[in-house]
Amino acid sequence: GENVEQHPSTLSVQEGDSAVIKCTYSDSASNYFPWYKQELGKGPQLIIDIRSNVGEKKDQRIAVTLNKTAKHFSLHITETQPEDSAVYFCAASSEFTSYDKVIFGPGTSLSVIP
Amino acid sequence: KAGVTQTPRYLIKTRGQQVTLSCSPISGHRSVSWYQQTPGQGLQFLFEYFSETQRNKGNFPGRFSGRQFSNSRSEMNVSTLELGDSALYLCASSLEGLQGRNEQFFGPGTRLTVL
Q: Over the stretch A78-93, which tens digit does the pLDDT of each residue have?
A: 999 999 999 999 999 9
Strand partners, B6: B23
Cα(A28)–Cα(A103) distance, integer angstroms:
13
Using the beta-carbon criterion (under 8 Å), do A99 and B45 form an inter-chain contact? yes
**Confidence class for position A106, pLDDT limits 50, 70, 90:** very high
- In degrees and rounded to multiples of 5, residue A61 shows phi and psi of -85, -5
Q: What does the pLDDT read at residue B55? A: 95
The verdict on a CB contact (< 8 Å) between B56 and A46 is no
pLDDT for B2 equals 85
**B interface residues, A as partner, C-beta within 8 Å:** 4, 33, 42-43, 45, 47-48, 55-58, 90-92, 97-101, 103-109
What's the gap between Cα B55 and its chain centre? 14
Is the pLDDT confidence value at A6 over 90? yes
Q: What averages of pLDDT result for each successive group of 10 residues across chain B (115 residues)? A: 93 98 97 96 95 95 97 97 98 94 95 98
